[in-house]
Chain A
């Protein structure tokens, strides 16, 4: 039976399962060390949760094609949505394993609902309550992901990108700075504008494209950038800013909502295909419909294999705007 993904503010079971599952994955060490992943410093066991942080960073460091420095294996191009769907499905499978519940689904944060509130009220949303994601700070001091200096098992950032763009070992608390880099979250009107676009993507298949994917990723319209996905990362700030952003569990709530918006778009435009197809030139390798997507943890899958996730999960509500 497929999992059902639910609103984290509307479903207490989904919220508790998510927090418990992530805590278990953060404390699970299957065997890989930082040396296996070519991270500098002494070899240190790396948790299952942190393997996903490393994967995201390395996908971002893999340029597609390697002769340019814009599109990468997970961002700034068409593969953005299917790659993150793949990542979330894999995390969801791990959550289900440690919770021993094959129906446990990732929750989503409907940030556009909070975006309808005045900017000054947005950091007071229930998502930042102690029984949900906790609040802000450097480090975060409230909620399930707060660091306790006296408790080595409390939530700590163990791998993080530095200013040179390298992933290095760390040992510190999670950081957030809500509303410090941009004043407000995206609104339902912003989401509705994305859903008006009937083409998935189009040339130049980049941050300058006018299609749905680039609108959801948040590079267009330029005057409103950062938009949607990007804006949520930037609004949360702290550890949500660098390529190691999966360090913050809010990362998955954000991407689950973008995946929900994509699912809503797919339902609205069932005849609008994923683009580019496989006849596109080799310079788009990694983004075409039957190309392997960059995978650290399992054999790769293709964008086509992620277009219909209904055997993995469904959403409780596709009313996104």
Chain B
């Protein structure tokens, strides 16, 4: 079922885009990670082995300079940890993951102390 250019372009005019974005037509995911959807820093792994159902709950609590880092973090069944804010990477070590966060978000980790805020940034 090939899509024709006209089919999509008719709905991609400036007026159509503005209407879709400004009328609340699209459900936007919550940005309140620490208290919201997806389980925050708890990761649940499930597997079946010889007819037994395995569930592994893992809860991470990250701090840098005593301040919590509360984005989504997970661990896959191969043991790799990942953090949503650096979506193209996974790590064998959670410590290495946090080192990468410090490098990747210089505005949130000023020299001499952690400065992150929930809100206006950069």
Tell me, rounded to whole Å, the shortest Cβ–Cβ distance linking B88 to chain A. Answer: 4
Cβ of A60 < 8 Å from any Cβ of B?
A: yes
Check if B111 is an interface residue, CB within 8 A of chain A.
Answer: no
Contact with A along B81-122 (1 / 0, CB 8 A): 011111111100000000011011111110000001011111
B121 touches A234 (CB 8 A): no
**Residue among B1, B76, B87, B118 with the most chain A CB within 10 A?**
B87
Collect the chain A residues with CB atoms within 8 Å of residue B88's CB.
218, 226, 229-231, 233-234, 241
Selected contact of B105 from candidates A36, A162, A169, CB within 8 Å: A162
**Contact call A40/B22, Cβ cutoff below 8 A:** no
Interface residues of A in 28-55 (CB under 8 A from B): 30-32, 36-38, 40-41, 48, 51
Q: In the complex the two chains form, is B78's CB within 8 Å of A208's CB?
A: yes
Cβ B18 vs Cβ A32 within 8 A: yes
A31 to B21, CA, bound (A): 9
Contact B31 A166 (CB under 8 A): yes
Interface check A66, CB cutoff 8 A: yes
Q: Are B12 and A93 in contact (CB under 8 A)?
A: yes
For residue B77, which residues in chain A have a CB less than 8 angstroms away from its CB? Answer: 204, 208
The residue from B17, B69, B87 contacting A164, defined by CB atoms under 8 A apart: B69
What does DSSP make chain A's interface, helix, strand, loop or mixed? loop
Cα A308 to Cα B75 with chains together (Å): 35
Q: Which of A163, A165, A229 has the most CB of B within 10 A?
A: A163
Partner-binding segment picked from A114-122, A127-135, A145-153, A290-298: A290-298
Given contacts A162-B116, A170-B121, whether A297 and B89 have CB atoms under 8 Å apart is: no
List residues 182-240 of chain A with CB under 8 A from any CB of chain B: 204, 206-208, 218-219, 222, 225-226, 229-231, 233-234
| Bound-state Cα–Cα, A176 to B120, Å | 22
Shortest 9 CB-CB distances between A and B: which pairs? A165-B71, A170-B122, A168-B121, A230-B88, A163-B105, A163-B108, A61-B29, A305-B3, A40-B119
- Interface positions of B (Cβ within 8 A of A): 1-5, 8-9, 11-12, 14, 16-18, 20-22, 26, 28-29, 31, 33-34, 37-39, 43-44, 69-74, 76-78, 80, 82-90, 100-101, 103-109, 116, 118-122
